[in-house]
Amino acid sequence: ESLRNDGRVWVPLREGDDRPPVDIPDAERDFFLERRYPAFGNLVPRDVASRAITAEIRAGRGVG
């Protein structure tokens, strides 16, 4: 199952970036699912996406 209609999943490239998400341009975003799974991008199974998202959160990356 893909991340239906949610767009591309990303975190800021720069650790500790506290700008609002809408102020972070694409060039400064890490589209980590696309980087980890280049053949699938955001169209990975939901359990794979959930584990990858959890790893990013535990690493202290994210917004909001």
Who's near 44: CB < 8 A, 6+ residues apart? 2, 33, 37, 52
Check residues 62 and 58 and name the one with the higher pLDDT.
Answer: 58
Answer yes or no: is pLDDT of 64 > 70: no
d(CA 44, CA 58): 20
- What phi, psi does 56 have (nearest 5°)? -65, -40
DSSP 14: S
- Is the pTM here over 0.95, yes or no? no
Please list the residues that pair with 29 across neighbouring strands: 12
Answer yes or no: is pLDDT of 5 > 80: no
- 6-49 residue pLDDT tens: 678 889 998 888 899 899 999 999 999 999 999 987 788 888 88
